[in-house]
Amino acid sequence: MAAFKLTHLMGLIGALVPAFAIPTVYSRQTALPLPYKVIAQMNQTDDFVENIAVRSNGDLLVTLFYPTASVYTVKRPFSDSPTLSLVHTFEDANGLTGISETGPDTFVVAAALYQELAVPSPNTTSLWELKLGGGDQAIAARRIIHAPQASLLNGLVSIPSTKSAILVVDGLLGVLVRVDLTTGLYEVVLDVPELKPVAGKPLFLGANGLKIRDEHVYWSNTDLVSIYRIRVDEQGYPIEAAEVEKVVTLENSSGVDDFAFDGLGNIWVATNTNNTVVTVSTDGRQAVTVGSLTELTVAGDTAMHFGRTLADKHTLYVTTSGAAAAPVNGTIVEPGKIVAVDTGGYY
C-alpha cells in the first residue's frame, strides 16, 4: 500500500525534528481511517491471535488463545516481507492470554487448558517464562507457577522498577494479582467492582488489558466498556487509600479488549466485537481510527503494541481473532492476523 509507505516515511522524518514541532506539523489533519496493511495471517479459520509483545530487536511475539497454547513470531514486521513462524507451544494447555517482557529476550505468558473459548478448566492455569535466543526457537520455557487459585488470567505486565514481579488480572474472579517471578508468591492486591465481570452481559468478562504508566496501573473492563486506573508504588502494590479512577468509557462500543499508550499518552483501544481501533486522545476526544462494524480490516481485534525501532515507532501492530466472538455481518470469520497501522500522521 503506497499510502502506507509515504506516510511511514513522513513519520520517520517527523521523528528527526524536535518533539515540540510535531503538533504544528501534523495538526490533526489526517484523513481517517489511518493507513494499514496486513503483515501476517494465520492459516486456519479458528486461529485466534490474542496478545502481543515486541522484542528489543523489533520482531513481534504473538500468543494464540485458540486452538493451541502457541507463541508465534513475526520477524522484521516493518520490512516488505515480514515472516510468520512458530516459536513455542506450551504443554498442559491449549490457549494463551497475556504476554509481557520481563528482561532481555525474556517474556512471561499465561497459559491454561480451556474447555471452551474463555472458559478455563479449573486448576489448569500456569504462568510461564520464555527465554528466546537469536533464532526462532525458544531456548527455555520455565513454569513460574501453577496457579490453582486462578480462573481466567488475562492481561499481564511487568513492573518497570522491579523486573522480578508482574501484575496480572483475573477477568472472571475480577482481581488484580501480583506474582513474584522468583518465589512464585501469588497475591491478590486489589479486589474492586471495576475489575469484575457483570452478570447478564453477553461475554461475562471483566478486567482484560493491563498496563503500567506514570505510577498508575491501567486496566480495561470488557463488560463495563471502560478503562480504569489506580496509583501503585514501585513494587506494583496499589497505594493505600488510593481510589480507582475511571479513565474513559467508550462511546458507541459494546466491547473493549486490550489497549496501548502512545508516546504522548493517547490510548489506542481494541474494541474486539466492534471490529475497530478507537483512539482516545489525552483531551478525552474519541475517534474510530481503523475498521468498522461491517469490515474485516481489524475484525475481532484483541490487542496492540507500538513498534520499538526507529523504523516503526509510529506503527501500531494490532492482533485479531478474525471475529471469532462476533462474526462480521453475523456469519463472516477469518483466521486471526496482525495488522500494521501507520499512526504517524495522527498527532
CA atoms in the 13 A half-sphere facing the CB of 311: 11
How many residues are there in the chain? 347
Chosen residue from 109, 296, 316, 338 binding ligand NAG by CB under 6 A: 296
Q: Which is nearer to ligand NAG, 167 or 324 (CB)?
A: 324
* Span near ligand NAG by CB under 6 A; candidates 97-105, 226-234, 260-268, 325-333: 325-333
Is residue 143 a contact residue for ligand NAG (CB under 6 A)?
no
CB of 296 to ligand NAG, least distance (A): 5
- Which residue from 66, 70, 72, 69 is spatially nearest to 85, judged by alpha carbons? 72
Residue choice 3, 252, 264, 285 for contact with ligand NAG (CB under 6 A): 252
- Provide the minimum distance between the beta carbon of 313 and ligand NAG in the complex, in angstroms, as a whole number: 28
The residue (of 224 and 328) whose beta carbon lies closer to ligand NAG is 328
Identify the three-state secondary structure at position 197: coil
Binder among 43, 81, 182, 331 for ligand NAG (CB under 6 A): 43
Nearer to ligand NAG, 192 or 293 (CB): 293
Among 86, 113, 189, 242, indicate the residue that binds ligand NAG (CB under 6 A). 86
Q: Does 32 bind ligand NAG (CB under 6 A)?
A: no
Helix, strand, or coil (residue 57): coil
Name 57's Cβ contacts closer than 8 Å, sequence gap at least 6.
none
DSSP per-residue letters across 130-178: EEE-SSSSEEEEEEEEE-TT-S-EEEEEEETTEEEEEEEEETTTTEEEE
d(CA 30, CA 346): 6
The reply on whether position 146 binds ligand NAG by CB under 6 A is: yes
Minimum distance from residue 202 beta carbon to ligand NAG (Å):
9
Q: How far is the CB of 171 from ligand NAG (least distance, A)?
A: 19
Pairing of strands 126-132, 138-146: antiparallel
Q: How many residues bind ligand NAG (CB under 6 A)?
A: 17
Q: How crowded is residue 229: how many other Cβ atoms within 10 Å of its Cβ?
A: 20
Fill in the amino acid letter for 245. E
Q: Tell whether residue 253 is a contact of ligand NAG (CB under 6 A).
A: yes
For residue 275 the three cell numbers come to 471490529
Identify which of residues 145 and 230 has a Cβ nearer to ligand NAG in the complex.
145
Please tell me the distance from the alpha carbon of residue 184 to that of residue 49, in angstroms, as a whole number.
27
Pick out residues in 106-125 that bind ligand NAG (CB under 6 A).
123
Dihedral (C-alpha) 103, 106, 107, 111: value to the nearest 10 degrees? -140
| Minimum CB–partner distance for residue 332 and ligand NAG (Å) | 5
Contact set with ligand NAG (CB under 6 A): 43, 86, 123, 146, 148, 252-254, 273-274, 293-296, 328-329, 332
